[in-house]
Amino acid sequence: MNSTSGYSNGYVNQPQRVGASHRERARRGARGGRSRESRDGFRVSGEQQQREGEQKVTPCTDFDMAYFHSYAHVGIHEEMIKDRVRTETYRAAIMQHKSYIEGKVVVDVGCGTGILSIFCAQAGAKRVYAVDASDIAVQANEVVKANNLSEKIIVLHGRVEDVEIDEEVDVIISEWMGYMLLYESMLGSVITARDRWLKCGGIILPSNATLYMAPVTHPDRYSESIDFWRNVYGIDMSAMMPLAKQCAFEEPSVETISGENVLTWPHMVKHVDCYTIQVHELESVTTRYKFKSMMRAPLHGFAFWFDVEFSGPATSPINTIANDPPVDGVQNKKRTNPNDALVLSTAPEDPPTHWQQTVIYFYDPVEVEQDQLIEGLVTLSQSKENRRFMNIHLEYTSGGRSFVKESVMR
């Protein structure tokens, strides 16, 4: 990072946190706001000011600052851009909606290196506001200049709550999804951008998202992490097993599983309509589930994954599955796409992405028979300490036995 650029972010600089762990990687802390013009069309946020008649601006906490700074590290952006499923789906979605973008004004919430902003410019956007609170915005501006797009793309270095855009926008694009979809709470920034700038009839890409869960069996994972200690070079180290279980399974695990690990059709935990969702709805999500196991196997935990859909304006019909009741407590595996909307999926049976799947493991497996019911509830809530963390409360009953698992995704 070039510290001699002369740009001020309107906040005190903190040391960069590099080499963040897989789970700590912040998805994107982009948010835009009150700004002042700098050279070459690059703008940086100034003092936060209360806009007359508007709601109080959400304060930027130390946790937010750490989150934004983690995104200044190039490795995070390299990982995301190299995820071809992610990046090529976004590019295809932009080109599929070219008629909505061409000649129009776009805001890219959490622009990172600016790649989605550039895709929008290539699709004919009249102007793109590329917003990011991380210092990666400085590099994004250099990328824009190197591609001779400074006349079309304006990089705004600041939070969406703080940056000023002096016109309504036709399109909002953002890659806001975290692990388990809602981890890191970046969707709130998209909601803020929508409420501040999106024209009536404008489009949001992606337009909606769905989080799923399903019970899984994973004997190999359990064997590698736990059963390993039963015999270590001929030595009985089973006394290590309780600690091994705690270390391996206390927190959610972000890993890749296959469709063979999944015991049932998935259940829909939360459907998000990006045109109507409100910030308070993200504070806590609770759903009751009921599964029927398709096979006899040890139940090791529950896996979570999501998909997002890129469809047209808000006037398009909302997918009906959001309101359809489950059949025997089981949701359909996939949403129907009546308009053949483009879908980016992180499901176990689909091509892998950097999001992988998130698995909540039990400390001890539960044996289930074919057709045995597995039921309970799950609550996902923002941590009161840091809203970007996720508290997970999982209750499950099977074979007359009931269990509770508490976990925090940090």
The CB-based long-range contact list for 47-56 (8 Å cut-off, 24+ gap) reads: 47/10, 48/10, 48/162
Angle ∠(381,382,386) on CA atoms, nearest 5:
155
Distance CA 336, CA 320 (A): 8
Helix (H, G, I), strand (E, B) or coil at 80: helix
The active-site residue out of 79, 102, 184, 367 is 184
**Rg, C-alpha atoms of the chain:** 22
In order of 25, 27, 215, 280, the CA distances from 409 in angstroms are: 12, 14, 19, 20
Show the beta-strand stretches assigned E in 158-278.
169-174, 198-205, 208-216, 253-255, 267-273
CA–CA distance, 45 with 31 (Å, rounded to integer): 10
Catalytic residue among 47, 175, 224, 349: 175
369 annotated active-site: no
Assess contact for 284 and 379: CB atoms under 8 A.
yes
37 is catalytic: no
List active site positions: 175, 184
